[in-house]
Chains A and B, each alone.
Chain A
């Protein structure tokens, strides 16, 4: 194909150059670009933009491929949130029946929440004291311990929240995956916690899918 300004549109030339079909170093193309400064300017701008996009793409890939190889203490949050978000049947259009069911459940929930708890001096939020510790008042938080069954090839994870934060806000502190029934946060991490917390232990299966959450347990640090 011989290119002349008269018989080839600028867009066709630029498209061929940017798609790699024509080489700007080709003498014929180079002569054309020299003769058409505005066309050359436009080509340079578009080529520069394409190079920026290439660099952005390469930078993205370099960053995410390095990042995903480094586990974090928040990995469990992703697994739990995904399971929670995509659990149960697919949401359908609201109907009167769904609204009615929600109202009924709400009323039942309100009754259960407002009902006075059964007296038990060894429990906090319904968790027997010999199953999870610390709970109630304590001089120092750690170690966190529990006596719950470890799922086959699964792990435990401890999450610490502000009071009332479980299910409502992000945890203040998250343990790594554990197989023992005890966790020792670092002294600095414990020190950074507020004087009132609640915590849960989550048991996950071998795929990392949460299968049981124990707690929350309220604790107050008395200094």
Chain B
């Protein structure tokens, strides 16, 4: 049973067994998903704590439910925590944005962004989310190729094995994906001048 973030293949096995309601796998998955509150707490701290204790607890609960509902999408390309982290980042960004809107509506000072480091983290998270949104728009096996290469750190040979195609074919797929992502992001970028 996978107890630590080491082997994506074992993680995938555990997730599939948990989805099949095997008690040992459910227990192991519960332990691993403790990463959700930990990641969200860390993100909240980096962002200057835009979420109070109660909002953070709500976000943890919502994110866990989201993760559990998406379990069937976990393909085991990378370790479970890497996959969960992307969901956590997305949920944290949304929760923090909601909180900021409430601040603006109530004309309260945006205390969390008075800190320069927090503001920088906020910009990084938005940039990261923009990349992720672009990859989602690329979609399909091309998006998988980008994630495997850059987020899961796989070699082209490993990617070829995972995608069950030849190495030259996976390289061509990766290039198409990168070119498509660049095209999408350039189209969305504000025009200069």
Closest to A85 in B: B68
Least CB distance from B80 to A in Å reads 10
Number of interface residues of B (CB under 8 A): 59
Kindly state the separation between the CA atoms of A46 and B39 in the bound complex, as whole angstroms: 31
Considering the complex, give the chain A residue whose CB is closest to the CB of B28.
A207
Contact call A19/B174, Cβ cutoff below 8 A: yes
A107 within 8 A of B: no
Interface of A, helix, strand, loop or mixed by DSSP:
helix
Q: What residues of B have a CB within 8 angstroms of the CB of A169 in the complex?
A: 58
List A contacts of B175 (CB < 8 A): 11, 14-15, 18-19
Q: Which residues of A contact B27 (CB under 8 A)?
A: 83, 207-209
Contact of B38 among A70, A88, A89 (CB under 8 A): A70
Q: B35, A68: Cβ atoms under 8 Å?
A: yes
Q: Which residues on B sit within 8 Å (CB–CB) of A89?
A: 21
Q: Which residues on A are within 8 Å of B, measured CB to CB?
A: 11, 14-15, 18-19, 21, 45-46, 49-50, 52-54, 56-57, 59-61, 63-72, 74-75, 77-83, 85-90, 169-174, 207-209
Taking CB atoms and an 8 Å cut-off, the chain B residues in 53-108 that contact chain A are 53-54, 56-58, 60-61, 64-65, 68, 81-82, 84-86, 89
Output the nearest chain B residue to A54 by Cβ-Cβ distance.
B150
With contact pairs A18-B175, A67-B35 given, residues A56 and B131 touching in the complex (Cβ less than 8 Å): yes
Of residues B19, B131, B178, which shows the largest number of chain A Cβ atoms within 10 Å of its Cβ? B178
Q: Tell me, yes or no, whether B185 is within 8 Å of chain A by CB.
A: yes
B150, A71: Cβ atoms closer than 8 Å = no
B2 within 8 A of A: no
* Chain B residues with CB below 8 A from A87, complex form: 21, 26
State the CA gap A15–B179 with chains docked (Å).
Answer: 9
**Across-interface contacts of B41 in A (CB, < 8 A):** 67, 70, 72, 74
Q: Does B146 contact A (CB under 8 A)?
A: yes
Residue of B20, B35, B56, B181 with most chain A CB atoms under a 10 A cut-off: B35
Q: How far is the CB of A164 from chain B (nearest CB, A)?
A: 16
Judge whether B13 is part of the interface by a CB distance below 8 angstroms.
Answer: no
Say whether B158 faces chain A, with CB atoms less than 8 Å apart. Answer: no
Given contacts A81-B65, A82-B30, 4 further A-B contacts (CB under 8 A): A49-B185, A53-B131, A54-B150, A209-B27
A-contact 0/1 string along B166-190, CB 8 Å cutoff: 0000011011001101100110000
